[in-house]
A and B are shown apart, each in its own frame.
Chain A
């Protein structure tokens, strides 16, 4: 079964500081990879996805993620945090093959941004 690990359930940064949220997956075949953000009392919003075209993926709101096969990682970064980035972030994978349409999610990382 697919496994997604997000290191750090809570991350705190100052406004303007680098944001780094970690995600590792367990799969011998690199899956499709996604990052979603969830604001309070809302659904999930897609930030970016990796399908295999490029290892560095740019998303919305200044976020980007780098796929590293050797490390089975897909960490999310943003050079400069903004107060509005405070939310919960989820890494998700979709295995290649017959389980299309099913996402496996990590447990989430709550990002706090201090002024």
Chain B
């Protein structure tokens, strides 16, 4: 089975711009979670989608949003980029449902905001 894929792998944007990151989960997985990883804050949960519905959301401003499509692929969008948004953005997929299925992570998208 192919793993979780994320595109693009690297991105450089300017402050004030917006960006869209994409995540394709493992085939058959219906849950996609997004995390931000920075040296200062570590790994922080952004949001989770299951069957096109956002089930959980972390403590991030409204500039961070996401969505999930019927094929379980997910996108996250960051508007009005700030320097502090520079980070590795990881998505993870799992079977989802009502049990704690394992989350499998993609390689991440490295976003640099200048």
Contact = CB atoms under 8 A, between A and B. Distances in A.
B87 interface: no
B75 interface: no
A104 B4 CA distance: 20
Nearest to B96: A101
Interface residues of A, number: 25
Interface in A28-67: 32, 34, 36, 41-46, 49, 51
B58 A102 contact: yes
Interface of A: 32, 34, 36, 41-46, 49, 51, 90, 92, 94, 96, 99-108
18 contacts: A32-B100, A34-B102, A34-B103, A44-B105, A46-B103, A46-B104, A49-B100, A92-B43, A96-B100, A100-B56, A100-B99, A101-B94, A102-B45, A103-B35, A103-B103, A104-B45, A107-B42, A108-B42
